[in-house]
């Protein structure tokens, strides 16, 4: 992570923990327009704003943080903790539709009832470590479709993540949208997992070796397998299992 990504990560965490995930409240606190904060997290080239030195120190002063707090790189543990449902269930309120009623309360409004199409599940994007997708991006899927097509631990453990890199091609391509299940925090069986290792966040196929070690596999034949010994397996911080992928193509 460079300093721009570190400050965005810290800022997202601050907005989640101190402002209920509502960027408008944070904007009011520091005397900025909500649109200004939205541009900080924008993924559009030429539109995004960086948190510069002056603004970073101003935010720290206004919010009662120590000077330089926003510049401290996140630890592996902080990155993995960002997957927790409690941390990510922030106040991203949806506008009420006359035909749609919330069937489960809570800031994420995970379950909705659409009179036309039945029960729907709202799945939000993990805005983690500057992976593509800004705060509030989400999709709604029919619960019946999920039950038929996806194996998962619990609806509340499902999140969206954008894959980066070509290591898993052709199975998963750069920019593909992944559905991940944060109910998996260890490699209990072979599969594709999102995990942290050596300060990097990756999504790869992982197999457990007979001696308890881990084999990290890239489906792209240009990449060699990585074997992690049982003594070093704790360095692989499992954040989620990939349970579905949407592969996009430009036509």
Each residue's pLDDT tens digit, 82-94: 544 333 332 222 2
Can you say whether residue 163 is alpha, beta or left, with left for phi > 0 and alpha for psi between -120 and 50 degrees?
beta
* CA-only gyration radius of the chain, Å: 19
Q: List the domain boundaries for the chain.
A: 3-73, 74-251
User: What's the pTM?
Assistant: 0.57
249 confidence band (pLDDT: 50, 70, 90) = low
237-246 sheet: strands from edge to edge: 158-162, 177-181, 237-246, 191-197, 200-208, 214-217, 226-228
pLDDT tens digits for range 157-186: 888 888 888 999 999 998 888 999 988 989
Burial of 15 (C-beta count, 10 Å sphere; 0-12/13-18/19+): buried
Does 150 score more than 60 pLDDT? yes
Cβ atoms of 22 and 29 within 8 Å: the answer is: no
CATH of domain 74-251: 2.10.109.10
Q: Are strands 200-208 and 237-246 parallel, antiparallel or unpaired?
A: unpaired
Instruction: Work out the average pLDDT over 198-212.
Output: 90
């Amino acid at each position: 992570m460079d300093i721009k990504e570190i400050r965005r990560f810290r800022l997202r965490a601050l907005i989640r923990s101190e402002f209920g995930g509502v960027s408008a409240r944070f904007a009011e606190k520091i005397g900025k327009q909500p649109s200004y904060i939205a541009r900080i997290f924008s993924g559009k080239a030429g539109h995004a704003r960086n948190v510069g030195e002056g603004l970073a120190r101003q935010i720290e002063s206004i919010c009662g943080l120590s000077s330089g707090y926003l510049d401290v790189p996140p630890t592996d543990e902080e990155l993995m903790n960002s997957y927790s449902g409690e941390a990510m269930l922030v106040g991203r309120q949806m506008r009420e539709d006359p035909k749609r009623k919330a069937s489960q309360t809570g800031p994420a409004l995970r379950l909705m009832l659409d009179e036309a199409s039945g029960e729907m599940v709202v799945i939000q994007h993990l805005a983690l470590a500057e992976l593509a997708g800004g705060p509030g991006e989400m999709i709604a899927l029919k619960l019946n479709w999920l039950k038929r097509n996806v194996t998962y631990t619990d609806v509340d453990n499902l999140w969206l993540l954008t894959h980066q890199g070509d290591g898993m091609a052709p199975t998963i391509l750069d920019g593909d949208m992944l559905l991940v299940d944060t109910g998996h925090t260890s490699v209990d069986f072979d599969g594709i997992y999102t995990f942290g290792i050596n300060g990097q966040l990756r999504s790869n196929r992982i197999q457990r070796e007979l001696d308890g070690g881990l084999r990290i596999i890239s489906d792209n034949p240009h990449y060699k397998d990585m074997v992690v010994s049982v003594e070093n397996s704790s360095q692989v911080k499992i954040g989620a299992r990939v349970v579905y992928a949407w592969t996009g193509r430009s036509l």
